[in-house]
Each structure stands twice: as C-alpha cells, then as structure tokens.
Amino acid sequence: MDFQANLSPVFFEDQSLSTWNFWIHDRKLNRLFILVDENTYTHCLPIVKQVTSSEITIHEIIVPAGETSKSLEFANYIWKQLIALNATRSDCLVNLGGGMITDLGGFAASLYKRGMRFVHFPTTLLAQVDASIGGKTGVDFEYIKNMLGTWSQPDAIFIYSDFLNTLDERQIKNGWAEMLKHALISSSNYWQEVKQFDLKNISHFIRRSVEIKMDVVSQDPFENNLRKVLNFGHTVGHALEAFFMKKSPDMVCHGEAIAAGMICEALIATRCCGLPMDVYYEIENVLDEIYVRLSFSETAIPEILEYMMQDKKNNQSEIRMALIASIGKALPEVPVKKDLIAHSLQMYLKG
Ligand SMILES: NC(=O)c1ccc[n+]([C@@H]2O[C@H](COP(=O)([O-])OP(=O)(O)OC[C@H]3O[C@@H](n4cnc5c(N)ncnc54)[C@H](O)[C@@H]3O)[C@@H](O)[C@H]2O)c1
C-alpha cells in the first residue's frame, strides 16, 4: 500500500495484483460483483479473473461502452442486477474500467442500501491518474456533466498499467491531458517532464500524477477551497464536453475537451491572474502539438456559456473558475466575466 492519508489506499503495479486476493480474503468475501463495459469485458476482465482466487464466485454486470452509459438509466440497471443477485452492503462492487465505469459504479455502489463496499480497478490512463482518485462519483443528467453524484471513497484502488496495453493512442492522449493539468497546477518540474511523456516510463508518471492528486484531495476532500484547483481547464472543458455530447455522444473525449479548456483558461489567466503571455504561448504550443483543435462555430459560444452557468456559484455575468498565475501556482476560485470567456473561445477558434 502506498498512499493512505484519509483517503483510499492505492496499490500499484505488481503489488496491486499480489495484494488483491489477500484483500478479498481479509474481508471474508466469497463472491464479487464486477462492473465492466463491453471493452473492459473483453480486454480487462480476463486478467482480473486470472488473478482472482478460483474460490470466489464472480457476477458480471456489463454496460455499453461510452459516456452515455454514465447515466441514471444505467445506475438503475446496476441496482436491479444487484437486487436480483441479493447483494448486501458488505458485498463488493469491483469497478473495472475507465472513468465512466469508476464514476458510474462508485455512484451506484454509494447509494445501494445506503452504501455498499466498492473498489476501483481503473483501466484507462485517465482513470488511473485521475478519475479513480479522490472519491467523486457521479452520472451525467440532462446533458450536464456529473450533475448527480456523491462523495464516496472506494475501499481501495488497484492500479495496474498493463491494462493500458490495449488502449489506442487517442485514449493515451485522453489521460495525458489530466497529467498535464496536474503539472500546470502544482509543479513546473513535473511540467518539464510530463510534456515529454513517454510510455516507457508510464509507472513513474502514473505515480507522480496520483501523488499530486492525492496531496490536493487529502488537504480538502470535499472541495471547499484548495481542491478546486483540480478543476483548471474544466469549467470551459466540461461545457465543451456537454455541448459535443448533445450533438453526438463520444465525439469528443474528456481529455480532449479539457485540453481545449486549458488553452482557453490559460488565456483568461493572462488577463485575470497575471499569467505571463510567453507562458501562455508555451502551454498553447504544447497542447496544440498533442491535440487537434475542437471544431465548433462562433455562433455556438452562447450555448457553450450556458452550460457553464449551471454551477450555483455563478451569477448572470460572472463565472468562478480555477486558474493559474504561473506554472505550478493555481488559484482555486477566480471570478471571470462571461465576455472574457467568450473572447477566449473566439481566440481558440482562430487557432
Ligand atoms: N471522478 C473524478 O474525479 C473524475 C476525474 C476525471 C474524469 N472523470 C470522468 O471520467 C470519464 C472519462 O473517463 P475515460 O476517459 O477513462 O472514459 P471511458 O471510461 O469511457 O473509457 C474510454 C474508452 O476506453 C475503453 N477502455 C477502457 N479501458 C480499456 C482498456 N484497458 N483497453 C481498451 N479499451 C478500454 C472504454 O470502453 C471506452 O470506450 C468522464 O465521465 C469524466 O467525467 C471523473
């Protein structure tokens, strides 16, 4: 076990698989409910089955792959399956998948009989470095990202980077966006490293990103203040994600939207927090080398701004967002005029 704080223990790499059966045995579990999507059913479930003691009965719960399954409809489906199998609070739901599965499974488990035991086996880079860490669960509702959710820590998180062998390049870049964000909000040294991210050193990068997220979350688990820095790039990013989700589900993935959000929010930071212009250009260049710019029309900007207004903290003319004053120094909540956000989106479109 490597990290504890007041958060879930995280087990890494071989230790993760070797601990697994001890962990099950310690809790006297004789059956497991494993939540997968169609892809993790094919690529990841066989690995988990192979390392799980043959004495354990495994019940599979399968949902379609993609963000549209992160919904009340599929939470409902999971609850029905659990009820049909007489699952109790002390049974364990194993969330084996990317951030869609860890968010959805965490949400369903945290409400089932007022909270059943659950663990995460994150299988995408994004879920290993970010979504599985920190105890936020949720589903999307009415095209609004994470509109319904709970704070609920898994009993443990098992990170095994071999799961990533079956991810395509797009999914690796998807996770890389959150790692770049971790660097931008906390460490210029990590920024220098992670902008040259290399799959050969994947374990090192995963650990470093998990450390950064755990450090922030352990100081402010319920996002009263400091934890908001993790939302850098997400105010604009989530709005873009919701906008594209409505047009065509899964057209834009989370990390791509967050990368676009970071470009816009870094530009805003040059006006609101004194981020030097040359630093903005560096961030823009790094992100442009990795991600293709999202394409939307200028006339869509009012609709994109509307998605940002859903947050209760915002008023009609201002939106509060996490910004950076320099690389490694984030400010949790800065009021930003809507006009300035619209301008950042216009500049983003100009490329
Ligand atoms: N709770 C949090 O703190 C938090 C933080 C960041 C993001 N998120 C959420 O995470 C979600 C995005 O997560 P994601 O990008 O992992 O998406 P995802 O779970 O939809 O996975 C992306 C794709 O990869 C496939 N896949 C997963 N593991 C695979 C494997 N090992 N091999 C082959 N294919 C595999 C999935 O089936 C899916 O098609 C969003 O809903 C976002 O809001 C949550």
Q: For 133-156, write each residue's pLDDT tens digit.
A: 999 999 999 988 899 999 999 999
If we measure between CA atoms, which residue out of 77, 163, 145 comes closest to residue 112? 77
Q: For 319-346, write each residue's pLDDT tens digit.
A: 999 999 999 999 999 999 999 999 999 9
User: Residue 127: is its pLDDT beyond 60?
Assistant: yes
Pocket around ligand 1 at a 6 A CB cut-off: 37, 39-40, 43-44, 65-67, 70, 97-101, 103, 123-124, 126-127, 130-131, 134, 136, 145-146, 163, 166-167, 171, 174, 253-254
Q: How far apart are the first and last CA of the chain?
A: 45
* pLDDT for the residue 351: 87
Query: Which CATH number does 10-166 carry?
Result: 3.40.50.1970
Candidate of 103, 161, 230 to mutate for ligand 1, largest count of ligand atoms within 8 Å of Cβ = 103
Positive or negative, the CA dihedral 90, 92, 93, 99 is: positive
> Are the CB atoms for 139 and 148 separated by under 8 Å?
yes
More confident residue, 144 or 348: 348
In this structure, which residue's CA is closest to atom 9 in ligand 1? Answer: 99
Q: What is the mean pLDDT of residues 289-305?
A: 97
Task: Give ranges for CATH 1.20.1090.10 in the chain.
Answer: 170-350
User: Residue 4: is its pLDDT beyond 60?
Assistant: no
| 114 catalytically annotated | yes
DSSP 8-class letter at 292: P
Distance 203 CA to ligand 1 centre (A): 18
Atom nearest to 38 CA in ligand 1: 37
DSSP 8-class letter at 89: T
Q: What is the mean pLDDT of residues 162-167?
A: 97
Residues β-bridged to residue 119:
94, 156
3-state secondary structure of 331: strand
Is CATH 3.30.300.30 correct for 170-350? no
* pLDDT for the residue 315: 67
Task: Give ranges for CATH 3.40.50.1970 in the chain.
Answer: 10-166
> Are the CB atoms for 1 and 9 separated by under 8 Å?
yes
User: Residue 2: is its pLDDT beyond 60?
Assistant: no
